[in-house]
Each structure stands twice: as C-alpha cells, then as structure tokens.
Amino acid sequence: MIEISARVKALPDYPLAEIPGIKRRLVESGMDVIDLGAGDNDAPPPSIAVEAMTEALADPAYSKYGFQQGLPAFRQAASDWVERRFGKRFDPVTEILPLIGSKDGLAHLPFAVVNQGDVAIVPEPGYQAYLGGALLAGAEPHVAPLRREHDFLLELRRVPEAVLRRAKLAFVNYPNNPTSAVATPEYLERTVAACRRHGILLAYDNAYCDLTFDGYRAPSIFEFPGAAEIALEFFSLSKSFSMTGWRLGFAVGRAELIGALTRVKSYVDTGPFLAVQRAGAAVLDRADEVVGPIRKELERRRDAAVPVLRKAGFVLESPKAAMYLWVALPAGVPSAAFARRALEETGALVLPGSAFGPAGEGYFRIALTTGPDRLTEAARRLGRILDATRREELATTA
C-alpha cells in the first residue's frame, strides 16, 4: 500500500477538475452546452504571437532548455512593459522571473518563504492555487473571507493579531477572480503598510490588470509607498492576450525575493519554452494594440449580459474589470446544486461560488468567454432555473 501524503490529502478538490468530464458527456448526448466556466476567452491568440512563435520554431536554438534565465529578450520586454505601464523600472536580469504561467509562480512562492507551520493568508472566494501552494509547502492557511459588505477586499486589519504575527505571506488579487472587485488606492496603501509592519510578503496577483472597463486603470502594487521591500507582483499573458494555453507569465520584485523563487523553480522546472518567450516578448512590445480590442469586446459582453441577468431576477454588479460576473443567488439556494442543475437541464455551464471555497457560497461565476448572443442565451437559461428553484421552494413551504 502506498500512503498518499497528508499534504495532498489536505487539498480540496480542484474546482475545475470534474467539469470537462460532465461537459463531454452532455455534448455527446446532443446538449447545446454554453461553457462559461473556465476563464479562457474565445478570442484567438494574437497573430503577432503566432508569427513570432512560428519563426522561433524554425530556429533550433529555441528548442533548447531555457533554464530560469530564459530568453533575455523576454525579460527585457517584460521590464519595458512594466515601466511603460506603471512607471516603475525593474532590472531585467535580477528583478524579473519568467514563469510557466503566473500560476507557476503563485503556487511555488510559499516554498520560498514559509517554514512548517507558518501562516499564509489566502482570500476566499479566491484563485485556488494560493491555497494549494500554501498547503503543499506546509504552511497553515488562514482563510480571509471576501464579503460584499466589505467590497470583496481582503482586509488584513480583520485578521487577528496573533495570526498576523505568525503570517509570512498574503495573497492579494485585484482586479479579483472570481468577484471582479477592484481595489482603491487607499486600500492598497494600507495593505502594503500592514505587510511592512508584520513582515509579511505581499504576493500581489495582477493577472487581470489590463482587462479594465469604463476608463478604470488598475495600478501595480509598486505604485504604493514601501511596496518594493515586501511585495512580489505576478503578471500573466494568459488573460490580456488570450494566450492561456501558451503558459507564460512573469514575477517582478526586488532581487532577493525573485532570487528565492528562482531557486525553488530551478529544482522543479526548466522555465517556459523559449519559443513561447519569443512570442511573449513580441506581444508585450505591442501590448496596447493587442489588448485594446479584447478589452472592448469583454466590455460589450458585460453590457449585454448584465441587464438580461438582472431582468431574469439575479442580483449582480456590473464589474469594472476582469472577465467575470459574480452573481448572487437567493438565500438558501446552494450554488453547487444550482450550477449542476443549470448545466444538466439547460447546458449553461457556470461555476458555483463554493468552488472558490466555502465563503464563495451564495454566488455563481459567469466567465465572459463567449459572444453577447450566446451569453444572453445562457443568462435566459439560468433565469429559467432560478424561476424553477423559486417555484419549488414556494411549493415546499406552502
């Protein structure tokens, strides 16, 4: 008998793990499935990326190990992009690290800073790689619930002092997945200050920084005083550029912290494929041009779906950023049962709030990953399930 480790047993089921299987079964049975589950936009990757990748594939030099250093041109493009975008300069060699998607960096980060039993503060609902990475590294996760009444902000001042004293790491993510909440400058300033006071590494996940609407601009954590000492920031090419499967992102921060993460990764992987880094550099150099139309289309989808969902009886905000609608369910309707029913009876695939941790209960998430017509069709189907749920509830209480 091989005994599976306590750390692996402690991992909750990964939220997206069972969905592809159910979807396949329904599609095979002839169901018209509208997949609004994973945050995987339907836009094709930029032609700039495809062309650069094609060229790189023809050059055998790009087929070699990249190691953690990777492609100097990618480091340079990432550094230039951060400077253009946020006005902050980071050394491409020592203060930037290419990642196999930002998930790679976020999930491996706890290994760099936590010792057995140290606390890692994770938002809930939240991207599950934070919790998984913390558990695998032997940290004790402290779950910080994100609540509507606090604008879905992870407030360190609500974390007990005794926990803050044991905390080594806090994951903070705005624009947020799954709530699409954004952070105010005051919030980011006080969060940086709290991390400095308690010696907590602030892992700022900025995967959605360029998917912003209505003129909103998402800042870098490094725009706030003192952040350079205690923060690492994580960027992704997946969402802004529709390159989820290419697996490319990067971390930014001071050399000692980047160095520690580099050391961890040098034992577990050999860096992103160099040809992908070549493509990533090409895209970052022309980022505005590429992300503009993606941002506009997401805004169009949001504006199409929100009114239809509201008309169907749902309560939700119209988000300023990211690519999700975070939709409240009536009290007492379990999100997993609602999502399963919506999928099996109507083919509308959404993620239950509970998939992002128990504090996500009472909501479901719609990813704006398909065009306005299909989105509004899905919204109507979800509305039918909401009506049916309410009718049944009335019948049982009558």
Ligand X SMILES: Cc1ncc(COP(=O)(O)O)c(C=O)c1O
Give residues in contact with ligand X (CB under 6 A).
39, 101-103, 127, 173, 177, 205, 207, 236, 238, 244, 249
Alpha-carbon distance of 224 to 241, in angstroms, equals: 26
Residue 397 CB, nearest approach to ligand X (Å): 38
Residue 343 CB, nearest approach to ligand X (Å): 20
Beta carbon nearer to ligand X, 213 or 235: 235
Beta carbon nearer to ligand X, 101 or 360: 101
Residue 398 CB, nearest approach to ligand X (Å): 42
Residue 342 CB, nearest approach to ligand X (Å): 21
Structural element, H or E, at residue 168: strand 167-173
Alpha-carbon distance of 335 to 356, in angstroms, equals: 11
Beta carbon nearer to ligand X, 40 or 361: 40
Provide DSSP, 172-208. EESS-TTT-----HHHHHHHHHHHHHHT-EEEEE-TT
Q: Closest Cα to residue 120, out of 33, 260, 280, 129?
A: 129
Beta carbon nearer to ligand X, 45 or 101: 101
Residue 52 CB, nearest approach to ligand X (Å): 18
Strand order across the beta sheet in which 324-328 lies: 315-316, 324-328, 363-367, 351-352
Sign of the CA dihedral 146, 150, 153, 154? negative
CB 146 within 8 A of CB 124: yes
CB-nearest residue to ligand X: 101
Beta carbon nearer to ligand X, 173 or 376: 173
291 Cβ contact partners less than 8 Å away, ≥ 6 residues apart: 210, 211, 240, 241
Residue 162 CB, nearest approach to ligand X (Å): 28
Beta carbon nearer to ligand X, 121 or 385: 121
The position carrying tokens 């509308």 is 348
